[in-house]
Amino acid sequence: MAEPKVIVIPDGKICDYIDGKFRNDTPEEYVRQTIEKRLVNEHKYLPSQIKIEYTLQVGSNKPRADIVIWEKDCEEQTQSTIKLIIECKKETVDARNAKDGIAQLQSYMSVCPNCEWGMWTNSIQKFVFRKYLDEAGNICFMEYNDIPAADGNLDDVNRPTRKSLRNASDDNLLFVFKTCHNHIYVNDGMQKQPAFFELLKVIFCKIEDERNIPNPLEFYTTSEERSNPDGQLTVQKRISKIFEKVKKRHGKIFDANDEIKLTPRSLAYIVSELQRYSLLNTNIDIKGKAYEEIVGANLRGDRGEFFTPRNVMKMVVEMINPKIDERVLDSSCGTGGFLVTAMTHVIDQLEKQFSEQVGLSKKEWDADCIRAFQDKISEMASTNFFGFDINPDLVKATKMNMVMNNDGSGNILQTNSLLPPHEWSDEFKSRLADALGIKKAEIRNHNTIASVYKGIHIKTTKNGLPTY
């Protein structure tokens, strides 16, 4: 048997995802590689349709376009037959830059007769254009939500269906979160932290809409709505109705008088960025990395807070191996990474059990089965998963993280868990007692708390704090 071929990548280089060539490991290249993976894994373009650093003829100049794409059945891949051009820049390059901004992209599209689509991105800004000719024959550009998939279906670009929702791959969801947050920060005049929480409100609306099975999706904006003030107001009204449902479902996170404070223009933009993905079905590691990185960038305080790496979380959870009927506590939960990882571990067990009970694999579940399974997850999570943190913003962020990853937000409480139980506040002990189904008076020390846990070995520190 032949030994597998080993490719040694030189220091400071990366292996291109499309053509396998070694390229310099730069911030701009990181953006391009992430886009290349999205083109293949999400949009379903074939590598044979794509060329990297393709030389164009623009007057007397011969610039190289970062990524060009042809139709699948294109017989001759030339400049005149290019379908789509993508320009990728590092974060410090602004879209308005005369040399490297969207003007550069549009000049490339203009010299390619059949190029209908173009995208410009620096990972925190993204612009998509569709080229057309006006009545006078002049080249014009209309801004769109996204580039079309390989099959050219534009309906899914404007209003995705449940069937067309895509699972995010690699760092694309992180790119989307950063792009949305940056848009709010720059265009709505909010500081980073308020901008972050406004983004999370919209994310909650997205999740609520995905859960509203089997009704059609309402979390969307068409390219036409996004491009004019009247359409933006229509989107605002549509999303506000979803947010009313969010507030009823998550009364412990949002007040009844809460509202989305984004301008209609910003809201329509963020909806257009999020609408193509399934936040519920995207891989937990991709979702967790995206969420926790943006939380860390905006909510990490000055108390010496450090967030545990995801590979460490996964290793610890696999070592503990929590079961369906066992309770889990993270007494310094931060952004909720440990709790989400543990809950996902248990959900995998619950899924196997549920599939055996209904006699169907997950792929065969109908809408009733999906709803029943979600109810089981919510019941299990609200009973068995607990998180404490001293930072009230991180408590809220953890609740949101749990909801984004299949629910369980009710038992995330604010307290200084380094204090012994007899020094905990009366309000905290009341809420904890309700969650545990015990009397508040029983919360006196580690022994009385330990008595209500089942199945997990508890080791106590000197101050009586239970750890696992």
pLDDT in tens for each of the 468 residues of the chain?
Answer: 566 667 788 889 999 999 999 999 999 999 999 999 999 998 899 999 999 999 999 989 999 999 999 999 898 999 999 999 999 999 899 888 988 999 999 999 999 999 999 999 988 888 999 999 999 999 999 999 899 989 877 777 888 999 889 888 878 888 899 889 988 988 998 888 889 899 999 999 999 999 898 899 999 999 989 988 999 999 999 999 999 999 998 887 888 999 999 999 999 999 999 999 998 888 877 887 888 788 877 766 544 556 677 788 889 999 999 999 888 989 888 888 888 889 889 989 999 999 999 898 888 888 888 888 888 888 888 888 999 998 888 888 888 888 777 665 668 889 998 888 888 888 888 888 888 888 888 887 767 666 555 444 333 344 444 444
User: Which pLDDT score is estimated for 201?
Assistant: 93
147 lies in the same domain as 215: no
Does a structural domain hold residue 291?
Answer: no
Task: Quote the tokens at residue 256.
Answer: 């009844």
| CATH at residue 22 | 3.90.1570.30
Identify the pLDDT of residue 458.
35
Residue 61 lies in a domain: yes
380 within a domain of the structure (yes/no): yes
My answer on whether 57 and 131 are in the same domain is: yes
State residue 450's pLDDT score.
61
Distance in angstroms between the alpha carbons of the first and the last residue of the chain: 46
Interhelix angle 337-358/367-384, rounded to 10 degrees, is 140
Q: Is residue 209 located within the same domain as residue 257?
A: yes
- Residue 102: alpha-carbon gap to chain centroid: 25
User: Which residue among 374, 391, 414 closes a domain?
Assistant: 414
The answer on 180 and 54 residing in a single domain is: no
Residue 118 sits in the same domain as residue 231:
no
Domain count, the chain: 3
> How confident is the model at residue 306, as a pLDDT?
65
- Which is it for strands 117-121 and 126-133: parallel, antiparallel or unpaired? antiparallel
Length of the chain, in residues: 468
What confidence score (pLDDT) does residue 374 get?
A: 83
> What pLDDT score does 408 carry?
57
Task: Provide the token pair at 45.
Answer: 């373009």
Phi and psi dihedrals of 15, rounded to 5?
Answer: -95, 120
Q: 105 and 22, same structural domain?
A: yes
- 43 contacts 35 by C-beta, under 8 angstroms: no
Number of other residues whose CB lies within 10 A of the CB of residue 369: 16
Residue 124: which of 370, 347, 294 has the closest Cα?
294
Residue 75 shares a structural domain with residue 146: yes
Please tell me the distance from the alpha carbon of residue 133 to that of residue 131, in angstroms, as a whole number: 7
Tell whether 144 and 24 lie within a shared domain. yes
Whether residues 138 and 200 fall in one domain = no
Asked if the structure places residue 160 within a domain, the reply is no
pTM: predicted TM-score of the whole model, two decimal places: 0.75
Residue 261 and residue 145 in one domain:
no
Residues 82 and 53 in one domain: yes
**Is 382 among the domain residues?**
yes
Q: Is residue 422 part of a domain?
A: no
Domain of 328 in residue numbering reads as 318-414
Final residue in a domain of this structure, among 274, 307, 335: 274
**Residue 217 and residue 109 share a domain:** no
Task: Please report whether residue 367 resides in a domain.
Answer: yes
Whether 435 maps to a domain, the answer reads no
